[in-house]
Structure 1
């Protein structure tokens, strides 16, 4: 069931609406669902996270309240803003677009529509008593909002055929992938929905090793159920035992590897190199043209370099904020020095504790 009635958007916003010149902004309703997703799929800056599918899974897994906004011009949809209200024990109440996603924010046909959506979102922030509004834009814009300068994303076009993927990689990365295939075998990779829980377990182990809480298993299952064949589960095994895995999402002509994990023993065997090589080959074989290696903090040097070694160039992300009650822009990321001790403790806790605890903690850190 799509986000809509019962989402908690103040009725004053949807009737009579917020109007800027000929632009009318109102709350999303279920009747907008088909038009919304068609708009996202056709918009040049649309992402897999702007689809209502993502919102539905988030709401089911975590119970956050959706307060999506739409902009209309002469009866035609001119912009969308997927938006959630978060009540966090760590950061108080805030609005974010989009939770548990690396991209989000406003999609609009014009600066006028974008600004109308922004003003409506600010109104919601004030009405809810939210400390801040966070918009996770991938591209720069003209909204004139303060930004955090912390994350890069990595995107690149794929070759024309699966056979061209390995030769297209930089020399050292190509050698690492070949060494991994030699160590693990040509048939080390399996792809299919039956591997979802395996990837989740690898992901949870990896997040504990990094000192970060994992997302809910229920989110993984909700996304898989809703995205169907556009949710791709891949694992790398050695003698039948999983070493590494990744859950990816397909949107238009690109694939987005999103949740991943690798056991310690997989690192010297280049399991990650094999995993991403085979994922790229799969994507090309499926007719996809882009590989979105996704977000990485600049101070997270290992993953940042790993993506560059695959021939991807970093591009800054534009996470923007409207501060309603907060004195400064928040930092709920692992780079926050205040979380350093918690991270060290987390690494020492048993997995039977961190896995369910992480699923609860991440309700407050979306």
Structure 2
């Protein structure tokens, strides 16, 4: 049944998982992203048990807009709708201003029905000048890459190129893994070291399964020992290394530097043209690392519609409110962090 209407536009909810018409619309919009794809609904619902409401605007039987929403009701971080949950981009994707207005109207009605405190749109470009917007905390790094791997290597700034060459001289090699058996423990160790709870392994398994034809796990090894690993996603002509991590030994061999080079090199050989280095918080080590590769930060605009709050909550590890928790988490034994982490991380959408 239609959820709401705006003029002749009807908005309903996507009931099943992957939807070919939805994905064709996303892929045909210049502002569409991998994180708008319908497969995320199954990933999030199966991994975390959160209810997803994927709103679809139609006009004359044709899709004119989509809005993937994840409902996270948590005891620690509140009750919110995110577009898109566990993703760095999202928000409404609309062909016309009327379609955008219809999606917004339906989202707000849904938020009131669910009793949520806020809606958060994660945007690369702002859409609502009258909504509270955080454009200072997060940036993304995107850059066109050379088709020739040798030219792509030379395009990396000299100091960072030297780190990649160090990994090559150390005899590092890359494997393409069919699953996440080596990726997950390396990623979990890295997050513990940063003081951040890790999501459950089931999430990674769902990502690799549902996006089987649009993902790749690259693991860096030395003498057969895995040092670092990353899962990348593919969308149109873009590659997005998304979740990556390394062991304590990775730094001494420049394994993380070599890992991202291997993702870039493989992307060149596959004819991809854009490398999306993903989101970082301003002023962090991740932010500096990506700048060293010659990428320039682009601000992300996280817009909020507040229903039961007076101001936008600052839920990120840089908030002094969480300093003690972060410091404590860094000291936890890995087995404890990996056991407790998924219980908390499922709220960190």
Q: CA deviation at 1:345?
A: 0.9
- In the alignment, the residues of structure 2 paired with residue 216 and residue 331 of structure 1 have an alpha-carbon distance, to the nearest angstrom, of 24
Q: Which has the higher strand share?
A: 2
TM-aligned CA deviation for residue 18 of structure 1:
1.7
Give, in whole Å, the separation in 2 of the partners of 1:210 and 1:290.
28
Partners of 1:154 and 1:294 within 8 A in 2: yes
Which of 66, 69, 80 matches 2:66? Answer: 80
Q: Relative to structure 1, is the Cα distance of residues 360 and 115 closer, same or farther in structure 2, using a 3 angstrom cutoff?
A: same
Structure-to-structure mapping, 1:303-318, within 5 angstroms: 303-318=286-301
Query: Separation in 2 of the partners of 1:154 and 1:364?
Result: 25
Find out whether 1:332 has 2:315 as its counterpart: yes
* CA–CA separation in structure 2 for the residues paired with 1:266 and 1:31: 38
What is the deviation of 1:142? 4.2
1:68 aligns with 2:54: yes
Match status 1:202 vs 2:186: yes
Distance apart, 1:256 and its partner CA: 0.5
Q: How does 1:86-235 map to 2 (within 5 A)?
A: 86-142=72-128, 144-148=130-134, 149-183=136-170, 185=171, 188-194=173-179, 196-235=180-219
- In structure 2, relative to structure 1, the CA distance for the partners of 1:32 and 1:207 (3 Å cut) is closer
Q: 2:231 aligns with which of 233, 244, 247?
A: 247
Q: CA deviation at 1:357?
A: 1.3
Give the conservation status (yes or no) of the 8 Å contact 2:55–2:68. yes
Alignment of 1:270-309 (within 5 A): 270-300=254-284, 302-309=285-292
The separation in 2 between residues aligned to 1:237 and 1:34, in whole angstroms, is 37
**Paired positions, count:** 348
Runs of 5+ consecutive residues of structure 1 not aligned to the other structure: 1-13
Q: Per-residue CA shift, 1:86-128, capped at 9, x if unaligned? A: 1111122211111111111110002221122112111111111
TM-score (normalised: structure 2)? 0.96
**Shift in Å at residue 31 of structure 1?**
9.8
Normalising by the residue count of structure 1, what TM-score does the alignment of the two structures yield? 0.91
Deviation of the 1:321 alpha carbon: 0.4
CA deviation vs aligned residue, 1:226-280 (integer Å, no higher than 9, x gap):
1113211111112211111111111111110111112232113211111111110
Contact 1:207/1:214 (8 A) holds in 2: yes
Does 320-329 or 89-98 show the bigger shift? Answer: 89-98
- Is the contact between residue 18 and residue 42 of structure 2 (CA under 8 Å) also seen in structure 1? no
Determine whether 1:350 maps to 2:349.
no
SS in 2 for 1:94: strand
C-alpha spacing 1:164/1:344, structure 2 compared with 1 (3 Å): same
Q: CA RMSD in A?
A: 1.5
User: 1:305-333 CA distances to partner (integer Å, 9 max, x unpaired)?
Assistant: 11111111100001110000012102221
Q: Which moved more, 1:138-147 or 1:119-128?
A: 138-147
What do the CA deviations read for 1:24-67 (whole angstroms, capped 9, x no partner)? 22222449922111111111111111111122111100000111
Q: Distance in 2 between matches of 1:101 and 1:30?
A: 20
Q: 4+ residue runs of structure 1 moved beyond 6 angstroms? A: none
By how many angstroms is 1:141 displaced?
A: 2.3
Cα contact 2:41–2:54 (8 A) shared by 1? no
What per-residue deviation string (whole Å, max 9, x for no partner) do you get for residues 193-217 of structure 1?
A: 24x2211111000000000001111
Query: Secondary structure of the residue that 1:140 maps to in structure 2?
Result: coil
Q: Give distance in 2, aligned partners of 1:248 and 1:167.
A: 23
Would you say the 8 A contact 2:147–2:272 is kept in 1? no
Counterpart contact for 2:173–2:220, Cα < 8 Å: yes
